[in-house]
Structure 1
Amino acid sequence: MKVDSSISVSEKTGGTPGDSSLDFTPQTSYSPLPKRRLRVVSFGRGRGETAGRRIPSINDEMGDTGKRIRIIVGSVQLEAELKNNKTAEGVYAALPVEAPVNTWGEELYFTLPGVKDYRETATTQVKVGDVALWGAGQVLAIFFGRTPMSMGPDPVPADRVNVIGRIVGDPTLLRQAVGATRIRVEKA
């Protein structure tokens, strides 16, 4: 259904010359959307061939790469699946890393220098289980619950982060690791 919201503007003149006011009256009408057909275009010879190159799909950026990382904090060990973006590739290439770990509410974070943040998915809207890079501070963050900025059940980072992956399994297991002093992240 197509919604056409327009505003009707009419001028009303008052009792004195030059005195006028505008009357804004919203008018809404509904009409069905026209049916559209999608066309599939083939580049190259034959069906689905692209001269040896793969055409990226709309889901590629948010899709996973099949690459996994292992996160070890205290006695807790989890895996995360990385997204298909350049920042995730940079983090993967920088592994293994072991560093002092910090907590901010139910977020673990640590410094991961030398990884370029391409800001493909820069956002302040993250979910429990997201793994993200905060490029400005060169910090890798793992969200497993609410943070001090949370207004609801979801964590809220202190600044925009680039989501690079997601914990496979139960991220709330990281609650058992609060108080740990070191974190290790390696290729799984």
Structure 2
Amino acid sequence: MPDIRIQIGEHECGADWTDTCPGTRAAIEAALPLAGEGHRWGDELYFPTAVAVEAENARTEVPAGAVAYWPQGNAICLFWGPTPTSRCAEPRAASPVNVIARIDDTTALAGSENGTRVRMTEF
């Protein structure tokens, strides 16, 4: 069973925590549930949070399915494909993000639009 339940509008997917940013993961995990209005940027959906964490092993190029925290915007980002800053088909953040989890099946993200309600909870 996945660690995290992510609801995107009427769709749902699961994600598992990663060990790349333990401090960020702890802050996000302690703040769950998190929810907000999603903003689409290419094949990325992000939503603002009240969580404030510094950069931790931050990077711009991330794998498809990455769940990341964006320190510059205090937001959770869900990546599944190219963004406006991508060089090829890889997801690329606007500025460095802290990767905290990985979604196995990103199908639920593809149909998301600006204004889609996103909610993250423990499974």
- Whether these two folds match at TM > 0.5 is yes
What is the rounded CA distance, in whole Å, between the counterparts of 1:177 and 1:114 in structure 2?
23
2:6 maps to what in 1?
71
Q: Distance in 1 between matches of 2:105 and 2:24?
A: 24
Match of 1:161 among 97, 101, 111: 97
Q: How many aligned residue pairs are there?
A: 121
Q: Distance in 2 between matches of 1:124 and 1:95?
A: 24
Structure exhibiting the larger radius of gyration computed from Cα positions: 1
Matched position secondary structure for 1:177: coil
1:93 aligns with 2:22: no
SS for the counterpart of 1:146 is coil
- Deviation, 1:148, is 0.9
Aligned pair partner of 1:133 in 62, 69, 76: 69
What are structure 2's unaligned runs of at least 5 residues? none
**Larger relative contact order (C-alpha < 8 A, sep ≥ 6)?**
2
CA RMSD in angstroms comes to: 1.8
Q: Which segments of structure 1 move beyond 4 Å, counting only runs of 4 or more?
A: none
- The corresponding residue for 2:58 is 122
Matches within 5 A, 1:36-47: none
The aligned residue for residue 113 of structure 1 is 50
Shift of 1:179: 4.9
Deviates more, 1:177-186 or 1:99-108: 177-186
Q: Give how far 1:136 is off.
A: 1.8
Tell me which of 69, 94, 105 is aligned to 1:170. Answer: 105
CA distance in 2, matches of 1:163, 1:87: 9
Q: Distance in 1 between matches of 2:2 and 2:59?
A: 22
Q: TM-score, normalised by structure 1?
A: 0.60
Match of 2:80 among 144, 147, 150: 144
Query: Offset at 1:114?
Result: 2.6
Conservation of the 8 A alpha-carbon contact between 2:67 and 2:100 = yes
Is the Cα contact below 8 Å between 1:132 and 1:164 reproduced in 2?
yes
